[in-house]
Amino acid sequence: MISQMHVKGLMFDPYNNAYIVVLRDDENSDMLPIWVGKSEAGAISMSLENVTPPRPMTHDFMKSLLDAYNAKVISVVITDLSEHTYFSKIHLMYEDSEYTVDARPSDAIALALRSNAPVFANNSVITKQSSEELEQWLENLKPEDFGKLDS
């Protein structure tokens, strides 16, 4: 079983000096936080905020390559969580054939946002991601941690 997820936003995690991409399902009942690096967060944030950079960023280039040959991103699926690492697959359609490509979730999400492709998560991943960890982390947050993301 898979659920469609929506990218709700990005938060800064001052304790790990990293960023968290927050995915939520349609009913807003399940949440999937994915920790990513600064430049990966920047790539996602530009899409979320509809910023067009003067020069193509890495994922814009990635999309240009696919566009050049009419390959379409159909969907992105967060498939597994193993030892704090998320795994994902990008599903492509090219000349009537489907291709599945292994990717880090940060790349997959950055590309999905640029391609208007849906993001899904395996339900097993959502179950595995114990919400306890996040809740504990949220409790420790101070209001000033919710600043605007600088990327």
Partner 1 sequence: MSTVDLPKEQDLVEYRVDRILEEANTDTRIVVLTRQDGALDTFPIWVGAAEGNAIKLALDTMITPRPMSHDLIKSFAEHLNITIQRVVIVDVKSSTYYAMVHVSNKGVDRTIDARPSDAISLALRAPCPIYITQDVLKRRSTTNLDAWLAKLESKDIGTPEVQET
Ranges of H-type helices in the chain: 38-48, 58-68, 105-115, 123-128, 131-139
Burial class (CB in 10 A: 0-12, 13-18, 19+), 84: exposed
Among 6, 16, 72, 85, binds partner 1 (CB under 8 A): 85
* Binding mask of the shown chain, residues 104 to 123, with x at each position contacting partner 1 by CB under 8 A: x--x----------------
- Cβ at position 33, least distance to partner 1 in Å: 18
- Residue 134's alpha-carbon distances to 22, 33, 39, 140, in angstroms, are 11, 8, 22, 10
Q: Does 92 bind partner 1 (CB under 8 A)?
A: yes
The strand order across the sheet containing 97-103 reads 31-36, 18-25, 2-13, 119-122, 72-82, 85-94, 97-103
- Strand 119-122 and strand 72-82: the pairing is parallel
Q: Which stretch in 17-25, 52-60, 127-135, 140-148 sits in contact with partner 1 by CB under 8 A? A: 52-60
Q: Which stretch in 12-20, 36-44, 120-128, 138-146 sits in contact with partner 1 by CB under 8 A? A: 36-44
Q: Does 128 bind partner 1 (CB under 8 A)?
A: no
Q: Does 69 bind partner 1 (CB under 8 A)?
A: yes
- Cβ at position 143, least distance to partner 1 in Å: 28
Please report, as ranges, the residues that interact with partner 1 according to CB under 8 A: 37-39, 55-59, 61-62, 64-66, 68-69, 71, 85, 87, 90, 92, 94, 99, 101-104, 107
